[in-house]
Amino acid sequence: MSHSKVVIFGILDTAELAHFYLTHDSDFEVVAFTLHSEFIEQNQFKGLPIVPFENLENVYPPSDYGLFAPMTGRNMNRNREKIYLEGKKKGYQFISYISSKATVFPETRIGDNCFILEDNTIQPFTSIGNNVVLWSGNHIGHHGEVMDNVFFTSHVVMSGHCKVKPYCFLGVNATIRDYLNLAEGTLVAMSASITKDTEAWGVYIGNPARKGPKPSHEVY
C-alpha cells in the first residue's frame, strides 16, 4: 500500500495542480514539496515546507512518506524519469493519482507515479505503465498498452489494440488508428492523425501525419 502522506517534487504548475487534486480528490495528505537545492528560492509553497531533494530522505524518510513527481513531458519525458529513478534509488514508493472523475474499469493495471486527470476513459483490457501522465479528456482504447514514461496531453484518441512505447508525447487532439505501434520517443503533434506505425524518435505532423526532419529529442 502507498503511504498516505506524500511529498510532491516541484513547485511549478503541475506540482500546484497535483497539490490541488490530492487535497480535494484523494485520501493522500501532501506534507511538503521538494526541489534540488540550487533551485530553492523560498522556504514554503502552498503553506508547506520546501525541502532539498538531496537530503529529502533524512527529513521525510521513505519508510513513512510517499513521493509524487507530476512533471511535464520536457525532454521527451526523460526529465521526469530522472527524478523518478532518483526517488526510487532513495527508497521511495511513488503514489499515483487517478481522478475520481476518470472512467477506469476493474483489473486495469496502472503503474506508479501516474497522474491521470478528469474525464479520461480507459477501456477494459488496457494497461498503463509507470510514470505516465494522462491530462484531461483522453480516450485510451481497449486492449491497448501505454508503456512507461509517456505523456498524453488532452483529447487524444488512442483506438483499440495500440501500443505506445516509452518516451512518447502526444499533443492535443491527436488521433491514433487502431492496431498501431508508436515507436519509442514518438512525438505526435497537435491534431495529427497517425495512420501507420511510427519510427523511433520521429516527429509526426498533419493529417494524415508525416514524419518531420528533426528527431523528437531535438524538438521537445
Give the number of residues written for the chain. Answer: 220
Considering the domain architecture, whether residues 137 and 85 belong to the same structural domain is answered as no
Q: Is the pLDDT of residue 9 over 60?
A: yes
Residues 77 and 173 in one domain: no
Q: Is the pLDDT of residue 85 over 90?
A: yes
Question: Same domain for 144 and 164?
Answer: yes
Asked which of 89, 116, 144 is the last residue of a domain, the reply is 89
Nearest residue to 149 (alpha-carbon basis) of 82, 220, 217, 67: 82
Task: Look at residue 103 and tell me if it is in a domain.
Answer: yes
Name the maximum alpha-carbon separation found in the chain: 52
The last residue of one of the domains, among 38, 55, 89, is 89
The amino acid sitting at 199 is E
Give residues with Cβ within 8 angstroms of 81, minimum separation 6: 131, 148, 149, 167
159: containing domain: 96-208
**How many domains is the chain partitioned into structurally?**
2
On the question of pLDDT at 158 being above 80, the answer is: yes
In tens, the pLDDT along 110-119 reads 999 999 999 9
60-80, pLDDT tens digit by residue?
Answer: 999 999 999 999 999 999 999
pTM exceeds 0.95: yes
Q: Report whether pLDDT(3) > 90.
A: no
Q: Are 80 and 94 in contact (CB under 8 A)?
A: no
Mean pLDDT over each residue of the chain, to the nearest integer:
97
pLDDT tens per residue across span 118-140: 999 999 999 999 999 999 999 99
Interval 26-39 mean pLDDT: 98
Torsion sign over Cα 113, 118, 119, 123: positive
Asked if residue 1 has pLDDT above 50, the reply is no
Identify whether 64 is part of a domain: yes
pLDDT at 2: 61
pLDDT for residue 137: 98
In this structure, the answer to whether residues 71 and 173 fall within a common structural domain is: no
Percent of the chain with pLDDT over 90: 99
Are 140 and 70 part of one and the same domain?
no
